[in-house]
Structure 1
Protein backbone atom coordinates (compact mmCIF):
# COMPACT_ATOMS: atom_id res chain seq x y z
CA UNK A 1 0.00 0.00 0.00
CA UNK A 2 1.38 3.43 -0.94
CA UNK A 3 1.57 6.35 1.46
CA UNK A 4 -1.33 8.18 -0.12
CA UNK A 5 -4.77 6.90 -1.03
CA UNK A 6 -4.69 8.29 -4.58
CA UNK A 7 -3.02 6.88 -7.69
CA UNK A 8 -1.94 9.89 -9.77
CA UNK A 9 -0.20 7.89 -12.49
CA UNK A 10 -3.24 7.90 -14.85
CA UNK A 11 -3.49 11.72 -14.75
CA UNK A 12 0.22 12.62 -14.64
CA UNK A 13 0.28 13.96 -18.20
CA UNK A 14 -2.75 16.22 -17.69
CA UNK A 15 -2.16 17.19 -14.06
CA UNK A 16 -0.57 20.55 -14.91
CA UNK A 17 -3.58 21.54 -16.99
CA UNK A 18 -5.96 21.67 -14.05
CA UNK A 19 -3.66 22.23 -11.04
CA UNK A 20 -2.44 25.79 -11.49
CA UNK A 21 -2.37 27.23 -7.95
CA UNK A 22 0.62 29.45 -7.16
CA UNK A 23 -0.54 31.38 -4.07
CA UNK A 24 1.66 29.29 -1.76
CA UNK A 25 4.87 29.60 -3.80
CA UNK A 26 6.18 32.88 -2.28
CA UNK A 27 5.64 31.48 1.23
CA UNK A 28 7.55 28.27 0.55
CA UNK A 29 10.25 30.10 -1.38
CA UNK A 30 10.90 32.39 1.59
CA UNK A 31 11.03 29.44 3.97
CA UNK A 32 13.35 27.44 1.72
CA UNK A 33 15.77 30.31 1.25
CA UNK A 34 15.79 31.00 4.99
CA UNK A 35 16.72 27.36 5.66
CA UNK A 36 20.12 27.98 4.01
CA UNK A 37 20.66 24.30 3.36
CA UNK A 38 19.23 21.16 1.72
CA UNK A 39 15.44 21.05 1.47
CA UNK A 40 13.21 17.98 1.18
CA UNK A 41 9.95 18.31 -0.75
CA UNK A 42 7.41 15.54 -0.22
CA UNK A 43 4.65 14.73 -2.73
CA UNK A 44 6.54 16.85 -5.26
CA UNK A 45 4.42 15.59 -8.15
CA UNK A 46 5.14 17.23 -11.50
CA UNK A 47 6.99 20.15 -9.93
CA UNK A 48 4.34 22.80 -9.34
CA UNK A 49 6.40 24.02 -6.36
CA UNK A 50 9.69 22.26 -7.11
CA UNK A 51 10.55 24.28 -10.21
CA UNK A 52 10.29 27.75 -8.62
CA UNK A 53 12.39 26.56 -5.67
CA UNK A 54 15.09 25.01 -7.86
CA UNK A 55 15.15 28.05 -10.15
CA UNK A 56 15.78 30.18 -7.05
CA UNK A 57 18.84 28.09 -6.17
CA UNK A 58 17.36 25.83 -3.50
CA UNK A 59 19.15 22.47 -3.15
CA UNK A 60 16.05 20.30 -3.42
CA UNK A 61 15.33 16.60 -3.04
CA UNK A 62 11.91 15.76 -4.53
CA UNK A 63 9.98 12.72 -3.29
CA UNK A 64 6.80 11.28 -4.73
CA UNK A 65 5.22 7.83 -4.78
CA UNK A 66 4.01 8.21 -8.39
CA UNK A 67 6.63 7.20 -10.99
CA UNK A 68 4.77 8.93 -13.81
CA UNK A 69 4.45 12.23 -11.94
CA UNK A 70 8.21 12.16 -11.34
CA UNK A 71 8.80 11.34 -15.02
CA UNK A 72 6.99 14.57 -15.92
CA UNK A 73 9.08 16.49 -13.37
CA UNK A 74 12.30 14.95 -14.66
CA UNK A 75 11.39 15.94 -18.22
CA UNK A 76 10.77 19.54 -17.13
CA UNK A 77 14.10 19.68 -15.31
CA UNK A 78 15.98 18.45 -18.37
CA UNK A 79 14.17 20.89 -20.64
CA UNK A 80 15.16 23.79 -18.37
CA UNK A 81 18.69 22.63 -17.66
CA UNK A 82 17.93 22.28 -13.92
CA UNK A 83 19.05 19.66 -11.43
CA UNK A 84 17.44 18.06 -8.40
CA UNK A 85 17.53 14.70 -6.68
CA UNK A 86 14.34 12.74 -7.44
CA UNK A 87 13.21 9.85 -5.26
CA UNK A 88 10.23 7.61 -5.96
CA UNK A 89 9.26 6.53 -2.46
CA UNK A 90 6.45 6.07 0.03
CA UNK A 91 6.67 8.81 2.67
CA UNK A 92 5.74 6.34 5.39
CA UNK A 93 8.76 4.20 4.53
CA UNK A 94 11.15 7.00 3.59
CA UNK A 95 14.77 6.30 4.46
CA UNK A 96 17.09 9.25 3.84
CA UNK A 97 20.07 10.51 5.85
CA UNK A 98 19.34 13.17 8.47
CA UNK A 99 20.76 15.99 6.37
CA UNK A 100 17.85 18.33 5.69
CA UNK A 101 17.27 21.68 7.36
CA UNK A 102 13.73 21.89 6.04
CA UNK A 103 11.05 19.47 4.85
CA UNK A 104 7.94 20.60 2.98
CA UNK A 105 4.66 18.78 2.47
CA UNK A 106 2.56 21.27 0.49
CA UNK A 107 -0.90 21.37 -1.07
CA UNK A 108 -2.60 19.62 1.88
CA UNK A 109 -1.22 16.30 0.63
CA UNK A 110 -0.68 14.91 4.13
CA UNK A 111 -4.45 14.46 4.24
CA UNK A 112 -4.13 11.81 1.53
CA UNK A 113 -2.35 9.61 4.09
CA UNK A 114 -5.40 8.07 5.72
CA UNK A 115 -5.43 6.33 9.08
CA UNK A 116 -3.61 7.41 12.22
CA UNK A 117 -1.08 4.56 12.11
CA UNK A 118 0.22 5.60 8.69
CA UNK A 119 0.07 9.30 9.56
CA UNK A 120 2.31 8.58 12.55
CA UNK A 121 4.66 6.57 10.34
CA UNK A 122 4.93 9.51 7.94
CA UNK A 123 5.68 12.00 10.71
CA UNK A 124 8.34 9.70 12.17
CA UNK A 125 9.94 9.23 8.74
CA UNK A 126 10.13 12.98 8.12
CA UNK A 127 11.55 13.51 11.62
CA UNK A 128 14.38 11.06 10.83
CA UNK A 129 15.33 13.00 7.70
CA UNK A 130 15.82 16.32 9.48
CA UNK A 131 18.86 17.70 11.24
CA UNK A 132 18.35 18.69 14.89
CA UNK A 133 16.55 22.01 14.83
CA UNK A 134 15.30 21.34 11.30
CA UNK A 135 11.78 22.37 10.39
CA UNK A 136 8.85 20.59 8.80
CA UNK A 137 6.09 22.64 7.17
CA UNK A 138 2.93 20.62 6.63
CA UNK A 139 -0.28 22.10 5.24
CA UNK A 140 -3.78 20.82 5.95
CA UNK A 141 -7.26 22.03 5.19
CA UNK A 142 -9.24 23.48 8.07
CA UNK A 143 -11.61 20.54 8.63
CA UNK A 144 -14.47 22.73 9.86
CA UNK A 145 -14.55 24.68 6.59
CA UNK A 146 -13.55 21.90 4.22
CA UNK A 147 -16.25 19.56 5.53
CA UNK A 148 -18.96 21.93 4.26
CA UNK A 149 -18.13 20.92 0.68
CA UNK A 150 -18.60 17.22 1.41
CA UNK A 151 -22.27 16.97 0.51
CA UNK A 152 -22.51 14.74 -2.56
CA UNK A 153 -23.02 17.68 -4.92
CA UNK A 154 -21.29 17.48 -8.30
CA UNK A 155 -19.12 20.59 -8.66
CA UNK A 156 -17.18 21.92 -11.60
CA UNK A 157 -13.47 22.33 -10.94
CA UNK A 158 -12.95 24.11 -14.25
CA UNK A 159 -12.59 24.00 -18.01
CA UNK A 160 -9.01 24.03 -19.26
CA UNK A 161 -7.35 24.28 -22.69
CA UNK A 162 -6.16 20.92 -24.06
CA UNK A 163 -4.36 20.04 -27.27
CA UNK A 164 -7.48 18.17 -28.44
CA UNK A 165 -9.86 20.97 -27.45
CA UNK A 166 -10.81 21.46 -23.81
CA UNK A 167 -10.58 19.48 -20.57
CA UNK A 168 -13.52 19.64 -18.15
CA UNK A 169 -12.82 18.57 -14.57
CA UNK A 170 -15.56 17.98 -12.01
CA UNK A 171 -16.19 15.89 -8.93
CA UNK A 172 -18.29 15.13 -5.89
CA UNK A 173 -17.50 14.09 -2.33
CA UNK A 174 -19.12 11.99 0.37
CA UNK A 175 -18.22 11.01 3.93
CA UNK A 176 -16.06 13.38 5.92
CA UNK A 177 -16.19 11.74 9.35
CA UNK A 178 -13.23 11.85 9.01
CA UNK A 179 -12.41 10.21 5.62
CA UNK A 180 -13.70 11.87 2.46
CA UNK A 181 -14.36 9.83 -0.69
CA UNK A 182 -14.15 11.85 -3.87
CA UNK A 183 -14.81 10.88 -7.46
CA UNK A 184 -13.11 13.23 -9.91
CA UNK A 185 -14.11 13.20 -13.56
CA UNK A 186 -11.98 14.25 -16.53
CA UNK A 187 -13.76 14.80 -19.85
CA UNK A 188 -11.92 15.90 -22.97
CA UNK A 189 -14.00 17.58 -25.67
CA UNK A 190 -12.88 18.31 -29.21
CA UNK A 191 -13.23 21.66 -30.96
CA UNK A 192 -16.55 20.42 -32.37
CA UNK A 193 -17.89 19.72 -28.88
CA UNK A 194 -17.72 15.94 -29.16
CA UNK A 195 -16.50 13.89 -26.22
CA UNK A 196 -13.06 12.45 -27.07
CA UNK A 197 -12.32 10.59 -23.87
CA UNK A 198 -13.26 10.38 -20.21
CA UNK A 199 -11.33 9.31 -17.09
CA UNK A 200 -12.27 8.75 -13.49
CA UNK A 201 -9.94 9.31 -10.53
CA UNK A 202 -11.09 7.86 -7.17
CA UNK A 203 -9.66 9.91 -4.30
CA UNK A 204 -9.62 9.49 -0.52
CA UNK A 205 -8.38 11.94 2.07
CA UNK A 206 -8.86 12.52 5.77
CA UNK A 207 -10.00 15.64 7.59
CA UNK A 208 -7.55 15.87 10.50
CA UNK A 209 -8.48 17.89 13.56
CA UNK A 210 -6.00 20.38 14.97
CA UNK A 211 -5.63 18.72 18.36
CA UNK A 212 -4.97 15.28 16.90
CA UNK A 213 -2.32 16.50 14.47
CA UNK A 214 -0.59 18.45 17.22
CA UNK A 215 -0.52 15.36 19.44
CA UNK A 216 0.89 13.16 16.67
CA UNK A 217 3.55 15.74 15.86
CA UNK A 218 4.66 15.99 19.47
CA UNK A 219 4.75 12.20 19.80
CA UNK A 220 7.01 12.07 16.73
CA UNK A 221 9.50 14.40 18.43
CA UNK A 222 8.46 17.74 16.96
CA UNK A 223 7.90 21.04 18.67
CA UNK A 224 4.98 23.06 17.29
CA UNK A 225 6.31 26.50 16.41
CA UNK A 226 3.41 28.08 14.52
CA UNK A 227 0.07 27.37 12.95
CA UNK A 228 -0.79 29.85 10.20
CA UNK A 229 -4.25 30.18 8.70
CA UNK A 230 -3.06 31.32 5.27
CA UNK A 231 0.10 31.92 3.28
CA UNK A 232 0.24 35.53 4.48
CA UNK A 233 1.22 34.02 7.87
CA UNK A 234 -1.97 35.22 9.54
CA UNK A 235 -2.80 33.31 12.75
CA UNK A 236 -5.02 30.26 12.39
CA UNK A 237 -8.68 31.07 13.09
CA UNK A 238 -10.83 27.91 13.40
CA UNK A 239 -13.90 29.77 12.16
CA UNK A 240 -12.35 31.53 9.16
CA UNK A 241 -8.96 30.16 8.07
CA UNK A 242 -9.01 27.87 5.02
CA UNK A 243 -5.75 26.16 5.99
CA UNK A 244 -3.72 24.94 8.91
CA UNK A 245 -0.10 25.59 7.94
CA UNK A 246 1.96 23.80 10.57
CA UNK A 247 5.53 24.87 11.27
CA UNK A 248 7.16 22.06 13.25
CA UNK A 249 10.69 21.86 14.55
CA UNK A 250 12.77 18.79 15.36
CA UNK A 251 13.83 19.05 18.97
CA UNK A 252 17.50 19.68 19.60
CA UNK A 253 19.90 22.17 18.09
CA UNK A 254 22.68 21.93 15.58
CA UNK A 255 25.88 23.65 16.67
CA UNK A 256 26.67 26.57 14.42
CA UNK A 257 23.25 26.55 12.78
CA UNK A 258 21.91 29.95 11.77
CA UNK A 259 18.45 30.60 10.37
CA UNK A 260 17.44 34.07 9.14
CA UNK A 261 14.43 35.39 11.01
CA UNK A 262 11.03 35.19 9.31
CA UNK A 263 8.19 37.08 10.99
CA UNK A 264 5.66 34.75 12.60
CA UNK A 265 2.38 35.80 14.16
CA UNK A 266 1.81 32.96 16.59
CA UNK A 267 4.24 31.24 18.94
CA UNK A 268 2.34 28.08 19.78
CA UNK A 269 4.78 26.23 21.94
CA UNK A 270 8.31 26.69 23.25
Structure 2
Protein backbone atom coordinates (compact mmCIF):
# COMPACT_ATOMS: atom_id res chain seq x y z
CA UNK A 1 0.00 0.00 0.00
CA UNK A 2 2.99 2.31 0.48
CA UNK A 3 2.93 5.29 -1.91
CA UNK A 4 0.29 3.49 -3.97
CA UNK A 5 -1.76 6.67 -4.31
CA UNK A 6 1.04 9.07 -5.25
CA UNK A 7 0.08 8.87 -8.91
CA UNK A 8 -3.49 9.90 -8.03
CA UNK A 9 -2.53 13.21 -6.43
CA UNK A 10 -2.64 15.31 -9.61
CA UNK A 11 -6.10 14.18 -10.74
CA UNK A 12 -7.87 13.13 -7.55
CA UNK A 13 -9.70 16.41 -6.92
CA UNK A 14 -10.92 16.67 -10.51
CA UNK A 15 -12.21 13.10 -10.70
CA UNK A 16 -13.90 13.06 -7.31
CA UNK A 17 -15.22 16.62 -7.25
CA UNK A 18 -18.74 15.16 -7.42
CA UNK A 19 -18.41 13.76 -3.89
CA UNK A 20 -20.32 16.15 -1.66
CA UNK A 21 -22.90 14.25 0.39
CA UNK A 22 -20.39 12.99 2.96
CA UNK A 23 -18.78 16.41 3.58
CA UNK A 24 -21.60 17.83 5.67
CA UNK A 25 -21.90 14.55 7.55
CA UNK A 26 -18.28 14.47 8.70
CA UNK A 27 -18.22 18.23 9.23
CA UNK A 28 -21.21 17.96 11.56
CA UNK A 29 -19.49 15.24 13.58
CA UNK A 30 -16.32 17.33 13.78
CA UNK A 31 -18.13 20.48 14.90
CA UNK A 32 -20.03 18.53 17.56
CA UNK A 33 -16.81 17.04 18.94
CA UNK A 34 -14.74 18.87 21.52
CA UNK A 35 -11.66 18.31 19.35
CA UNK A 36 -9.15 17.48 18.24
CA UNK A 37 -10.14 15.31 15.27
CA UNK A 38 -8.02 12.70 13.49
CA UNK A 39 -8.66 11.77 9.86
CA UNK A 40 -7.09 8.62 8.43
CA UNK A 41 -6.45 8.62 4.68
CA UNK A 42 -6.91 12.37 4.39
CA UNK A 43 -5.62 12.46 0.80
CA UNK A 44 -5.70 15.95 -0.69
CA UNK A 45 -7.72 17.34 2.22
CA UNK A 46 -11.20 17.03 0.71
CA UNK A 47 -12.70 16.57 4.19
CA UNK A 48 -9.79 17.77 6.34
CA UNK A 49 -9.66 21.33 5.06
CA UNK A 50 -13.40 22.13 5.42
CA UNK A 51 -13.21 20.88 9.00
CA UNK A 52 -10.22 23.14 9.71
CA UNK A 53 -12.03 26.06 8.07
CA UNK A 54 -14.71 25.63 10.73
CA UNK A 55 -12.18 26.24 13.51
CA UNK A 56 -11.86 22.60 14.54
CA UNK A 57 -8.37 21.36 15.37
CA UNK A 58 -7.59 18.41 13.13
CA UNK A 59 -4.74 16.07 12.23
CA UNK A 60 -4.81 14.34 8.85
CA UNK A 61 -2.58 11.41 7.97
CA UNK A 62 -1.98 9.74 4.64
CA UNK A 63 0.58 7.27 3.33
CA UNK A 64 1.08 9.24 0.10
CA UNK A 65 3.62 12.10 0.28
CA UNK A 66 2.25 13.60 -2.93
CA UNK A 67 -1.31 13.63 -1.61
CA UNK A 68 -0.09 15.45 1.50
CA UNK A 69 1.85 17.87 -0.70
CA UNK A 70 -1.29 18.74 -2.67
CA UNK A 71 -3.27 19.18 0.55
CA UNK A 72 -0.66 21.58 1.96
CA UNK A 73 -0.72 23.65 -1.23
CA UNK A 74 -4.50 23.90 -0.96
CA UNK A 75 -4.13 25.08 2.63
CA UNK A 76 -1.85 27.89 1.48
CA UNK A 77 -4.18 28.87 -1.36
CA UNK A 78 -7.22 28.93 0.93
CA UNK A 79 -5.23 30.72 3.66
CA UNK A 80 -6.46 28.36 6.36
CA UNK A 81 -5.18 29.59 9.71
CA UNK A 82 -6.80 27.04 12.04
CA UNK A 83 -4.66 24.44 13.73
CA UNK A 84 -4.20 21.64 11.22
CA UNK A 85 -1.40 19.12 10.89
CA UNK A 86 -0.93 16.98 7.77
CA UNK A 87 1.38 14.03 8.30
CA UNK A 88 2.78 11.21 6.18
CA UNK A 89 1.79 8.13 8.15
CA UNK A 90 0.64 4.56 7.53
CA UNK A 91 -2.78 3.97 9.10
CA UNK A 92 -1.77 0.37 9.83
CA UNK A 93 0.92 1.46 12.26
CA UNK A 94 0.96 5.07 13.43
CA UNK A 95 1.90 6.62 16.76
CA UNK A 96 1.03 10.28 17.27
CA UNK A 97 1.34 10.37 21.08
CA UNK A 98 -2.03 12.08 21.26
CA UNK A 99 -5.65 11.13 21.85
CA UNK A 100 -8.58 12.48 19.87
CA UNK A 101 -12.26 13.06 20.54
CA UNK A 102 -13.22 11.94 17.03
CA UNK A 103 -11.48 9.69 14.50
CA UNK A 104 -12.85 9.51 10.96
CA UNK A 105 -12.08 7.47 7.84
CA UNK A 106 -14.12 9.00 5.00
CA UNK A 107 -14.83 7.73 1.49
CA UNK A 108 -14.23 4.04 2.11
CA UNK A 109 -10.63 4.55 3.16
CA UNK A 110 -10.81 1.47 5.38
CA UNK A 111 -11.23 -0.65 2.24
CA UNK A 112 -7.69 0.21 1.12
CA UNK A 113 -6.59 -2.35 3.72
CA UNK A 114 -6.19 -5.51 1.66
CA UNK A 115 -5.97 -8.13 4.40
CA UNK A 116 -7.60 -8.91 7.72
CA UNK A 117 -4.19 -8.50 9.38
CA UNK A 118 -3.97 -4.94 8.02
CA UNK A 119 -7.50 -4.21 9.22
CA UNK A 120 -6.69 -5.47 12.72
CA UNK A 121 -3.42 -3.51 12.80
CA UNK A 122 -5.27 -0.34 11.84
CA UNK A 123 -7.97 -0.78 14.46
CA UNK A 124 -5.29 -1.52 17.05
CA UNK A 125 -3.47 1.70 16.15
CA UNK A 126 -6.74 3.63 16.29
CA UNK A 127 -7.50 2.35 19.80
CA UNK A 128 -4.20 3.77 21.08
CA UNK A 129 -5.43 7.24 20.10
CA UNK A 130 -8.86 7.00 21.73
CA UNK A 131 -10.16 7.82 25.18
CA UNK A 132 -13.41 6.54 26.66
CA UNK A 133 -15.57 9.17 24.95
CA UNK A 134 -13.89 9.06 21.53
CA UNK A 135 -16.00 8.07 18.55
CA UNK A 136 -14.74 6.24 15.48
CA UNK A 137 -16.83 7.08 12.39
CA UNK A 138 -16.21 5.64 8.94
CA UNK A 139 -18.05 4.54 5.82
CA UNK A 140 -17.77 1.58 3.47
CA UNK A 141 -20.04 0.51 0.64
CA UNK A 142 -22.42 -2.43 0.64
CA UNK A 143 -21.05 -5.18 -1.66
CA UNK A 144 -24.19 -6.05 -3.60
CA UNK A 145 -24.18 -9.61 -4.89
CA UNK A 146 -25.67 -8.69 -8.27
CA UNK A 147 -22.74 -6.34 -8.91
CA UNK A 148 -19.72 -8.22 -7.59
CA UNK A 149 -20.82 -11.44 -9.30
CA UNK A 150 -20.49 -9.75 -12.71
CA UNK A 151 -16.75 -9.89 -13.29
CA UNK A 152 -16.73 -9.12 -17.01
CA UNK A 153 -13.80 -6.67 -16.75
CA UNK A 154 -15.26 -4.45 -19.47
CA UNK A 155 -14.28 -0.82 -19.98
CA UNK A 156 -17.14 1.60 -19.31
CA UNK A 157 -17.61 5.37 -19.35
CA UNK A 158 -17.67 6.93 -15.87
CA UNK A 159 -17.91 10.72 -16.13
CA UNK A 160 -16.74 13.96 -17.71
CA UNK A 161 -14.50 16.30 -15.75
CA UNK A 162 -14.31 20.00 -16.58
CA UNK A 163 -11.14 22.02 -15.99
CA UNK A 164 -11.44 25.50 -14.53
CA UNK A 165 -7.83 26.41 -15.22
CA UNK A 166 -7.46 25.27 -18.83
CA UNK A 167 -9.34 24.68 -22.06
CA UNK A 168 -10.99 21.34 -22.68
CA UNK A 169 -12.14 18.59 -20.38
CA UNK A 170 -11.35 15.00 -19.43
CA UNK A 171 -13.28 11.79 -19.96
CA UNK A 172 -12.93 9.19 -17.23
CA UNK A 173 -13.31 5.47 -17.98
CA UNK A 174 -13.37 2.55 -15.56
CA UNK A 175 -12.42 -1.10 -15.92
CA UNK A 176 -13.14 -3.25 -12.88
CA UNK A 177 -12.37 -6.85 -11.99
CA UNK A 178 -13.74 -8.71 -8.96
CA UNK A 179 -11.85 -11.41 -7.07
CA UNK A 180 -14.66 -13.08 -5.14
CA UNK A 181 -12.39 -15.48 -3.26
CA UNK A 182 -10.20 -12.73 -1.77
CA UNK A 183 -12.97 -10.08 -1.74
CA UNK A 184 -10.85 -7.72 -3.79
CA UNK A 185 -11.79 -5.21 -6.45
CA UNK A 186 -9.09 -4.17 -8.92
CA UNK A 187 -9.90 -1.04 -10.89
CA UNK A 188 -8.13 0.61 -13.78
CA UNK A 189 -9.12 4.22 -14.35
CA UNK A 190 -8.32 5.75 -17.73
CA UNK A 191 -8.35 9.53 -17.97
CA UNK A 192 -8.49 10.98 -21.49
CA UNK A 193 -7.67 14.68 -21.63
CA UNK A 194 -9.70 16.20 -24.48
CA UNK A 195 -8.45 19.34 -26.20
CA UNK A 196 -10.52 22.22 -27.56
CA UNK A 197 -10.84 20.44 -30.93
CA UNK A 198 -12.36 17.33 -29.35
CA UNK A 199 -9.30 15.13 -29.74
CA UNK A 200 -7.47 13.17 -27.04
CA UNK A 201 -4.25 15.04 -26.26
CA UNK A 202 -3.16 13.03 -23.21
CA UNK A 203 -4.09 9.70 -21.64
CA UNK A 204 -3.39 8.69 -18.04
CA UNK A 205 -3.78 5.30 -16.38
CA UNK A 206 -4.59 5.14 -12.67
CA UNK A 207 -4.93 1.82 -10.85
CA UNK A 208 -6.17 0.99 -7.38
CA UNK A 209 -7.29 -2.05 -5.40
CA UNK A 210 -9.61 -2.39 -2.43
CA UNK A 211 -10.98 -5.21 -0.31
CA UNK A 212 -14.72 -5.07 0.27
CA UNK A 213 -16.24 -6.12 3.59
CA UNK A 214 -19.67 -7.56 4.33
CA UNK A 215 -21.85 -6.19 7.12
CA UNK A 216 -21.48 -8.99 9.65
CA UNK A 217 -17.80 -9.37 8.85
CA UNK A 218 -17.29 -5.71 9.81
CA UNK A 219 -19.48 -6.17 12.87
CA UNK A 220 -17.38 -9.07 14.19
CA UNK A 221 -14.11 -7.35 13.27
CA UNK A 222 -14.99 -4.30 15.35
CA UNK A 223 -16.19 -6.39 18.27
CA UNK A 224 -13.17 -8.68 18.26
CA UNK A 225 -10.85 -5.65 18.24
CA UNK A 226 -12.43 -4.16 21.36
CA UNK A 227 -15.00 -1.74 19.94
CA UNK A 228 -18.65 -1.29 20.79
CA UNK A 229 -20.89 -0.41 17.86
CA UNK A 230 -23.24 2.47 18.61
CA UNK A 231 -24.89 3.07 15.25
CA UNK A 232 -24.98 1.81 11.69
CA UNK A 233 -26.47 4.20 9.15
CA UNK A 234 -27.43 3.47 5.57
CA UNK A 235 -27.09 7.05 4.31
CA UNK A 236 -25.27 10.24 5.21
CA UNK A 237 -28.66 11.62 6.22
CA UNK A 238 -28.67 9.28 9.24
CA UNK A 239 -31.25 6.90 7.81
CA UNK A 240 -31.13 3.48 9.45
CA UNK A 241 -29.31 0.71 7.63
CA UNK A 242 -31.56 -1.80 5.87
CA UNK A 243 -31.52 -4.27 2.98
CA UNK A 244 -31.80 -1.44 0.43
CA UNK A 245 -28.85 0.59 1.72
CA UNK A 246 -25.83 1.21 -0.46
CA UNK A 247 -23.63 2.56 2.33
CA UNK A 248 -22.57 1.28 5.72
CA UNK A 249 -21.67 4.18 8.00
CA UNK A 250 -20.33 2.86 11.29
CA UNK A 251 -20.13 4.66 14.62
CA UNK A 252 -18.15 2.92 17.34
CA UNK A 253 -16.41 3.58 20.65
CA UNK A 254 -14.17 1.60 22.97
CA UNK A 255 -15.91 -1.37 24.53
The verdict on a shared fold, with TM-score over 0.5 as the criterion, is yes
Indicate conservation of the 8 Å contact 1:98/1:131, yes or no.
Answer: no
List alignment gaps of at least 5 residues for structure 1. 252-270
Counterparts of residues 1-270 of structure 1 (less than 5 Å): 1-2=1-2, 7-20=4-17, 21-82=19-80, 83=82, 84-144=84-144, 147=148, 151-162=152-163, 163-177=166-180, 178-237=183-242, 239-251=243-255
**Contact 2:35-2:58 within 8 A present in 1 as well:** no
CA contact (8 A) 1:70 1:86 kept: yes
CA RMSD of aligned residues (A): 1.7
Report how many aligned residue pairs link the two structures.
247
User: What is the DSSP-based 3-state SS (H/G/I as helix, E as strand, rest coil) of the residue aligned with 2:21?
Assistant: coil
The TM-score, its normalising length taken from structure 1, stands at 0.86
Q: Residue 257 of structure 1 corresponds to which residue in structure 2?
A: none
Give the deviation of 1:176 after TM superposition.
Answer: 4.2
Aligned partner of 1:266 in structure 2 is none
User: Is the CA contact 1:181–1:202 (under 8 Å) kept in the aligned structure 2?
Assistant: yes
Measured after TM superposition, the shift of residue 188 of structure 1 is 0.8
- Counterpart contact for 1:159–1:166, Cα < 8 Å: yes
Q: Quick check: 1:164–1:188 contact (8 Å CA) kept in 2?
A: no
| TM-aligned CA deviation for residue 149 of structure 1 | 6.8
| Counterparts of 2:99 and 2:157, CA distance in 1 | 42
Check conservation: 1:150, 1:180, Cα contact below 8 A: no
CA contact under 8 A between 2:149 and 2:178: conserved in structure 1? no
Matches of 1:96 and 1:129 in 2, distance apart?
A: 8
How many angstroms apart in 2 are the aligned matches of 1:148 and 1:110? 22
Distance 2:151 2:248 in 1: 18
Taking the aligned partners of 1:176 and 1:133, their CA distance within structure 2 comes to 38
Deviation of the 1:23 alpha carbon: 0.5
Which residues of structure 2 form unaligned runs of 5+?
Answer: none
TM-score for both structures, normalised by structure 2? 0.91
